[in-house]
Amino acid sequence: MSTNGETIIEVEHLVRKFGDRAVLDGISFNVHRGETLVIMGGSGCGKSTLLRHMIGSMKPTSGSVKLFGEEITAMKEREVERVRLRFGMLFQSGALLASLTVGENVALPLLQHTAKSPEEIEQIVKQKLEMVGLTGFEDLTPDEISGGMKKRVGLARALALDPELLFSDEPTSGLDPIMTAVVDELTLKLTHGSHMTAVVVSHDMTSAFRIATRMIMLGHGSIVAEGTPDEMQNSPNPEVQQFIHGRPDGPIPLNLSQEEHKDHQQVRPRPFLGGRFRFHHKRS
């Protein structure tokens, strides 16, 4: 729980540009063993992009990402694979293989990376699906299940190899409150019991405050605020307050980014809508 454990992830001065636009603009933070780091921030602020850099599937424009003490941005594909065996990832879309059944999806990492017998694998698949509340869904295909179920299958697959580090991109979006609680319980159980480390992107504030040991909030390419859930709750930063209480009025611009306004003059909101002009300057 505490931050004195070994450092698992070190992100330093991470910059990622798409064209001229810096989506990530100098991000630095560390994650220690056993922590659950929640990354929050408005839609499109670069949370998924940040995760993609941490799993080595995107290369940064500049900056460094170290997993388990190893720099992954400079690694060859073959070396990255070795590191990837140590963590699991749940994609925002679930990213299940459409040509395989639910059970085969969860079994895939086991089949590829372990020498377990088919019976053992079947057993593990059952157990992982049970953990996410999907007992008996093995034989359905991904297009026969709902969005929230896909998420949970994705989580079961990410956990198939019992990773020591889990990345999840909005694990609870699309889930009902009870399932959200089940998934949160699962994350808590794994981080407390098995000392798993988790990095979770979440929009869902109830869930975020339930599981986080530390939180960071992204905005305009950098970290707006960072701290324990208590510190965030009591943060004097109006952007944080606006975000965690979900208020439409505040310093966070309501709509699309500035450039997109230039492209779409006709969707510019009428001036009396929202207080977004009141705090337009950027704090740093």
Partner 1 sequence: MKNYIQLNLSLLYWILIAPFTGQFFKIAPIFRQMVFIGVRAAPMVALTAFSVGVTLAMQAAHSLESLGAEMYIPDLVMITLLREMGPVLIAVIVIGRSGSAVAAELGTMKVSEEIEALQVMAINPVQFLVVPRFLAMMVMLPALTIFGNYIGILGGWAVCTFALDFNTAGYVLRALESADTWDLYSGMIKSVVFAWIIITIACNAGLTVEGGAEGVGQATTASVVQALLAMLVMNAVLTGIFFFAA
Ligand X SMILES: Nc1ncnc2c1ncn2[C@@H]1O[C@H](COP(=O)(O)OP(=O)(O)OP(=O)(O)O)[C@@H](O)[C@H]1O
Parallel, antiparallel or unpaired: strands 62-67 and 197-201? unpaired
Does 256 engage in binding with partner 1 (CB under 8 A)? no
Quick one: which of 168, 203, 161 has its CA closest to 187? 168
Give the CA distances from residue 129 to residues 2, 15, 70, 260, in Å, rounded to whole numbers and listed in that order. 30, 37, 32, 42
Does 92 engage in binding with ligand X (CB under 6 A)? yes
- Contact partner, 46, from Mg ion, partner 1, ligand X, none, Cβ < 5-8 Å per class: ligand X
State in angstroms the smallest separation of the CB of 22 from ligand X. Answer: 10
State in angstroms the smallest separation of the CB of 43 from ligand X. Answer: 4
Does 233 engage in binding with ligand X (CB under 6 A)? no
Does 222 engage in binding with ligand X (CB under 6 A)? no
Cα separation, 108 vs 197, in Å, equals: 22
**Among residue numbers 113 through 172, which ones bind partner 1 (CB under 8 A)?**
113, 157
Evaluate whether 15 touches 37 at the Cβ level (below 8 Å).
no
Does 11 engage in binding with ligand X (CB under 6 A)? no
Which token pair is 13?
A: 């001065």
Quick one: which of 284, 250, 214 has its CA closest to 2? 214
- Contact partner, 18, from Mg ion, partner 1, ligand X, none, Cβ < 5-8 Å per class: ligand X
Does 48 engage in binding with Mg ion (CB under 5 A)? yes
Considering the complex, state which of residue 93 and residue 228 has its C-beta at the smaller distance from partner 1: 93
Which token pair is 170?
A: 């909005």
Quick one: which of 76, 52, 157 has its CA closest to 113? 157
Candidates 25-33, 85-93, 207-215, 270-278 — which segment interacts with partner 1 by CB under 8 A? 85-93
Name the residues that contact Mg ion, by CB under 5 A. Answer: 48, 92
Name the residues that contact ligand X, by CB under 6 A. Answer: 18, 23, 41, 43-49, 92
